[in-house]
Amino acid sequence: MKHTLASPPHIKMDVCPTARELRWLAHIDRHGPQSSEFLYEATRDTHRCRDTSLRRLQALREAGYLRLPPQQHQIAKADFNPYVYDLTKLGWDTLADHQELERHCRPTGHWWHGYWVSAVSSAIEIAATRAGLEYVPAVRILAIKDVQMAIPLSKGKLIPDQLFAIKYPDGFRAFALEVDRGTEPVRSPAARKSLKRSVEQYREVLDGKLHQRHYGLKSNLAVLWCFNSAARLRQFQDLLPTAEGQFLACSVPGGFPRQQVMLRALRVVFEVH
């Protein structure tokens, strides 16, 4: 039987989120929509039963705290993938009673692109936490000087897909995240966005230390590109005449983000310090 993505409107359950479930709400608030697989992994340090996690996510959905974005069904073999959850107004209102919200730093724009960004940043936080490292979200970085994500350039501005930092044993390292799903040209003679233009914009930021001026960062900035194919990764590497330590790149197979596959690809983040 085919699953429906609509939450049953007639079901009203008396459910109050537990401490673990508030962590789920906060994780979605910080990163964006999350699959049940990622949410389970985010709290596996205290709750190891996967089936219980899936049942509780279903209960939160039926109680009106979570919803299932319909876009997740617009992919081949969607019924074989874990459900992707996002917060409802009730979910955000409930979380706001416990902490400051971070929703203004979530990815925006095309849903599938934003979901990939949220999956990548989520996987990085999960891996960093398990390694005993501190993950610093964009909201804390932007609060240093109370600025927006967009970095002013000599012509226009540069808006990373996401921004975060990691505290290693020897200090902090900030990262600008770019997720490339192969929808833009490698080069373009026009003014439209291309991979080559993005590289040039980030070179302007790094050479002029604009990230330090704009965000108030004292640490170095690395740019992490995440590609959905090895071929696209090679095209990116061809744009760099020499190995540049401030540009990191990895490829994650396209389709639906899976946590273990993504963690293997993102090891590059934990090898730069």
pLDDT confidence of residue 2: 44
Strands (E), the chain: 34-35, 66-67, 84-87, 134-136, 151-152, 157-158, 162-168, 171-180, 221-227, 247-251
Residues pairing with 135 in the sheet: 166
> What are 121-144's pLDDT values in tens digits?
999 999 999 999 999 999 999 999
Is the pLDDT at 9 greater than 60? The verdict is no
Summarize the confidence of residues 35-61 as an average pLDDT.
95
Tally DSSP H helices, then E strands, for the chain: 10, 10
Lowest-pLDDT range, 95-104, 164-173, 179-188, 212-221?
179-188
Q: Delimit the domains of the chain by residue range.
A: 1-101, 108-273
Is pLDDT at 270 greater than 90 in this prediction?
no
- Would you state the pLDDT for residue 73? 83
User: Looking at the predicted structure, is the pLDDT value of residue 94 above 70?
Assistant: yes
Which phi and psi (to 5°) does residue 262 adopt? -70, -40
What pairs with residue 189 in β-bridges?
Answer: none
1-101: CATH topology? Arc Repressor Mutant, subunit A (1.10.10)
Nearest residue to 54 via CA among 82, 95, 26, 22: 82
pLDDT given at position 264: 72
Q: What is the pLDDT of residue 125?
A: 95
Residue 76 banded pLDDT, cuts 50, 70, 90:
low
177-219 pLDDT, tens digit each: 999 988 888 887 765 688 999 999 999 999 999 999 999 999 9
pTM above 0.75, yes or no: yes
Q: What is the pLDDT of residue 193?
A: 80
Q: What share of the chain is helix, strand, coil (3-state, %, to 5)?
A: 45, 15, 40
